[in-house]
Amino acid sequence: MDASTYSKTALILVDPFNDFLSEGGKFYPLTKETVEGIHLVQNLKKLIAGARERKIQIIYAPHHHTAEGDYLNWRFLSPSHQGSKNVVLFEKNSWGAEFHPELLAAKGDLIASNHWTGSGFANTDLDFLLKMHNIERIVLAGMRANTCIDSTARYGVELGYHVTLIKDGIGAFNWEEIRVTVETTFPNYGHAMLSTEEFLNTPMP
Amino acid sequence: MDASTYSKTALILVDPFNDFLSEGGKFYPLTKETVEGIHLVQNLKKLIAGARERKIQIIYAPHHHTAEGDYLNWRFLSPSHQGSKNVVLFEKNSWGAEFHPELLAAKGDLIASNHWTGSGFANTDLDFLLKMHNIERIVLAGMRANTCIDSTARYGVELGYHVTLIKDGIGAFNWEEIRVTVETTFPNYGHAMLSTEEFLNTPMP
Amino acid sequence: MDASTYSKTALILVDPFNDFLSEGGKFYPLTKETVEGIHLVQNLKKLIAGARERKIQIIYAPHHHTAEGDYLNWRFLSPSHQGSKNVVLFEKNSWGAEFHPELLAAKGDLIASNHWTGSGFANTDLDFLLKMHNIERIVLAGMRANTCIDSTARYGVELGYHVTLIKDGIGAFNWEEIRVTVETTFPNYGHAMLSTEEFLNTPMP
Amino acid sequence: MDASTYSKTALILVDPFNDFLSEGGKFYPLTKETVEGIHLVQNLKKLIAGARERKIQIIYAPHHHTAEGDYLNWRFLSPSHQGSKNVVLFEKNSWGAEFHPELLAAKGDLIASNHWTGSGFANTDLDFLLKMHNIERIVLAGMRANTCIDSTARYGVELGYHVTLIKDGIGAFNWEEIRVTVETTFPNYGHAMLSTEEFLNTPMP
């Protein structure tokens, strides 16, 4: 991170929902080990605070909120769609589809339109919002390492952005999923990888 | 229209909002002449009813609902963005941003995510929803001829769809805008043009 | 045009092929009246020279070169596809598919991948190349006013670019097509319109 | 694979270049272990023959051929771009940028426009060509497991296709990259995984 590029950088928070990050969330039994093990909520809080101090644009990239009738008559469902349907993940107007209470959006933050599958860019206005705010560099954190995070990062590169992954700012269903993202996939296409601490140690404006 | 293709066809209703189509709507002073002159609301009602009878999928392609903070810090605004901002068009949670009361969505209809500018496809999930429902042909009606309708039709062709325009199913700010769309732009790239009556005269399943 | 933005501006030349712009070209009988009437080749030459002087990036957005087997087994053809097929427009490896000899690309210019239909952005790498060169503003000239130019301009706005149209830098099959683009469509969504002379009168760096 | 869907299925061959697959190719020292270990060329030959017998559309998704001037003045390079630049990978008009001699395209096959990074869909006409040929299902094979194959598969799902991975039809720089793709990433978003043998054992039309 270079202070001269802050005005062209955005922190993208992918799916920081209660269903993923809070005790009682529908997928918390699956995510708990890595979320707690890596102190994900604390790290995301620090990232958000650090971004605000540095005037780095914050933008949420939220998954679709499941509602009745969704996926009806679709010609085929991916495992991600099937999983969301089965448990009514991020159920519309429910607590599970709210952002974690310590990770709420504030005035000036942006919220992209909801994505149906993995990439925060696919079939949403994320690229458009980034362009209208003159963003050239994105920093990714949130859930889930090998699915939404990996897909959003790949799209970011294909769309011409400089992409940084926060390696201890992502959770998953097990440690292997995080390891694979950090070691085997992202380094082959992404531009930079930082820890939360390294992100916070970049100079203030 | 060919009965054998109904299951692969969708009727796309672009921006059938009160602000465009109802007495008292913010842009009704501008649209009234063509909307009333062409009996647009009646024609759209007939199209919707005809589509339901023929089991043609209906999908709404709605413009962004203006909310406080929108367009803030954008690097430049197009005339469309400036106009929406100036009058707070389709204001979020307002009557103007509701669909015309005679043109409401029913169970089984789809509603794409909101578009920021002209094309119902750009930065939305419209293409994805059409694909998941196996749609190959789209029929366009709604507002406004030379902006959203023309842009949505152009994107439809570029995305590989067969595109039909309902020539008396579109309104505008003046007759010239409709004439231009029907005579000078659409015929050069679109696949078919029908009147509401011709659409309704296609055989029932 | 503002000198401070030159490094973020690109001049996009759409389809400056012999088949459109040169005596003997396959569509020259259709384009001759406006191309000669508006002095299009001379204006495009001036635009290219002016862009080079100002270090404005030049990028060509060329239509697909028709080859044997193209359009075979396509599920439906648009009028544009049908027309290209009928006359073997911009035939691969033919003179008609070369750029006009006075409008050739030079070292440092970019050439986007070929487009199949109207928009220079659709199904090509134009957006990606612009992003990788840090372009935020595009200036459009070339062929054909109400089809490729209008579609490329609409996509440009949807993709977040500032879009300028050179009003005497575009040709068509008749004057009405140019008039419609300049008066009835572009002003509703585009950001700026300049004549060739106005473009050239912007200050030098 | 279900015989009733053959006409809606395409086999996508990603980057079957000499530089990846042939002794003497620029990256063959890196790919040799998995390419030879998994009998990749033989498997791809069988897949191609099996697809032809079943009238499954074959489409190549080739990477950009590096030429002089590429990547010049780009605002940042991803590791993939840097690697291609460093070794002049798939050099334009060179043997390394030709398809492996046993995997050549035949009449009726399609070749998508070249991709710059990982996904065969990003900034190319692959989605458009698939739509024009009525394809709903894609079967992926080629190079390289955790980069182009994984990215193309992710885009395929986001674009609404049914995506099948041929698990012994992909190579990489080491076994871990294949394992990760087959075990940790693809199963979370892809629809089906088959071996070459399973693909060939599907009934003939």
**Angle formed at CA D159 by CA D80 and CA B110, multiple of 5 degrees:** 150
The percentage of residues in chain A with a pLDDT greater than 70, rounded to a whole number, is: 99
Chain B nearest-CA distance from D132, in A, is 6
Average of pLDDT values for A176-190? 97
Tell me which of C131, C133, C159 to substitute to probe the interface with A (most A C-beta atoms closer than 10 Å): C131
Tell me which of B71, B123, B136, B155 to substitute to probe the interface with A (most A C-beta atoms closer than 10 Å): B123
d(CA A98, CA D195): 42
Q: Tens digit of pLDDT for each residue in D114-126?
A: 999 999 999 999 9
Give the pLDDT of residue A202: 81
**A159, C132: Cβ pair inside 8 Å?**
no
Give the pLDDT of residue B34: 98
Residue C61 has pLDDT above 80, yes or no: yes
Query: What is the amino acid identity at position D6?
Result: Y
d(CA A167, CA B119): 37
Q: Which of A118, A185, A191 sits opposite D158 (nearest CB)?
A: A118
Give the pLDDT of residue A203: 79
Give the pLDDT of residue A111: 98
**D124, C122: Cβ pair inside 8 Å?**
no
Residue A187 has pLDDT above 80, yes or no: yes
Q: Which of A132, A136, A161 sits opposite C160 (nearest CB)?
A: A132
Average of pLDDT values for C25-50? 98
Asked if C190 and B76 count as a contact pair (C-beta separation under 8 A), the reply is: no
Chains that touch A (3 or more CB pairs under 8 A): B, C, D
In three-state secondary structure terms, B136 is coil
Residue C2 has pLDDT above 80, yes or no: no
Q: Does C80 touch chain D (CB under 8 A)?
A: no
- Cβ-count burial B156-191 (b if 16+ within 10 Å, e if not): bbbbbbbbbbbbbbbbbbeeebbebbbebbbebbbb
What ipTM did this prediction achieve?
0.97
Chain C nearest-CA distance from D78, in A, is 11
Give the pLDDT of residue C74: 97
- Per the prediction, chain A carries an average pLDDT of 96
Give the pLDDT of residue A44: 98
pTM: 0.97
Report residue D25's pLDDT band, with 50, 70 and 90 as the boundaries.
very high
Q: Does B95 touch chain A (CB under 8 A)?
A: no
Average of pLDDT values for A140-144? 98
Give the pLDDT of residue A129: 98
**C154, B188: Cβ pair inside 8 Å?**
no
Residues from chain B contacting residue A114 (CB–CB below 8 Å)? 113
Report residue D3's pLDDT band, with 50, 70 and 90 as the boundaries.
confident
Residues from chain D contacting residue C107 (CB–CB below 8 Å)? 69
Q: By CB neighbour count within 10 A (0-12 exposed, 13-18 middle, 19+ buried), where does D174 fall? A: middle
**Which residue in D has a C-alpha nearest to residue A124's C-alpha?**
D158
Neighbours of B193 (CB within 10 A): 15
| Region of residue C142 (left: phi > 0; alpha: psi -120 to 50; beta: else) | left
Q: Does C113 touch chain D (CB under 8 A)?
A: yes
Measured N-to-C along each axis, helices B40-53 and B28-37 cross at an angle, to the nearest 10 degrees, of 60
Give the pLDDT of residue D71: 96
Q: Does C117 touch chain B (CB under 8 A)?
A: yes
Smallest CA-to-CA distance from A182 within A167, A160, A192, A199 is with A167
> A-D interface: how many C-beta pairs under 8 angstroms?
95
First-to-last CA distance in chain C? 12
Q: Does D180 touch chain A (CB under 8 A)?
A: yes
Query: What is the amino acid identity at position A57?
Result: Q
* Type and span of the H or E element at C136: none
Interface subset of A 13-42, CB within 8 angstroms of D: none
Q: Does B75 touch chain A (CB under 8 A)?
A: yes
Report residue B4's pLDDT band, with 50, 70 and 90 as the boundaries.
confident
**Which residue in C has a C-alpha nearest to residue A127's C-alpha?**
C159
Tell me which of D77, D127, D157, D186 to substitute to probe the interface with A (most A C-beta atoms closer than 10 Å): D157
Q: Does A134 touch chain C (CB under 8 A)?
A: yes
Tell me which of A30, A76, A121 to substitute to probe the interface with D (most D C-beta atoms closer than 10 Å): A76
Give the pLDDT of residue D197: 97
Domain count, chain A: 1
Give the pLDDT of residue D56: 97
Give the pLDDT of residue C4: 82
Residues from chain A contacting residue B133 (CB–CB below 8 Å)? 73-75
Smallest CA-to-CA distance from B8 within D102, A73, C21 is with A73
Give the pLDDT of residue B123: 98
d(CA C26, CA B83): 42
Q: Does A132 touch chain C (CB under 8 A)?
A: yes
Chains that touch B (3 or more CB pairs under 8 A): A, C, D
**Which residue in C has a C-alpha nearest to residue D69's C-alpha?**
C108
Average of pLDDT values for B122-140? 98
- Per the prediction, chain B carries an average pLDDT of 96
Query: Residue D147's domain is classified under what CATH number?
Result: 3.40.50.850
Give the pLDDT of residue A2: 76
Q: Which of D79, D157, D188 sits opposite A189 (nearest CB)?
A: D79
Structural domain that includes position C34: 3-201
Q: Does B2 touch chain C (CB under 8 A)?
A: no
Average of pLDDT values for B27-56? 97
The percentage of residues in chain B with a pLDDT greater than 90, rounded to a whole number, is: 95
Residues from chain B contacting residue D128 (CB–CB below 8 Å)? 158-160
Interface subset of D 137-176, CB within 8 angstroms of A: 146-147, 150-151, 154-155, 157-160, 162-163, 176
The percentage of residues in chain C with a pLDDT greater than 90, rounded to a whole number, is: 95
Q: Tens digit of pLDDT for each residue in B155-192?
A: 999 999 999 999 999 999 999 999 999 999 999 999 99
**C131, A160: Cβ pair inside 8 Å?**
yes
Cα-based distances in Å from A185 to C39, D131, D179, D198: 54, 29, 12, 27
Q: Tens digit of pLDDT for each residue in D125-177?
A: 999 999 999 999 999 999 999 999 999 999 999 999 999 999 999 999 999 99
**C113, D125: Cβ pair inside 8 Å?**
yes
Q: Which of B128, B132, B159 sits opposite D131 (nearest CB)?
A: B159
The percentage of residues in chain A with a pLDDT greater than 90, rounded to a whole number, is: 95
Residue B204 has pLDDT above 80, yes or no: no
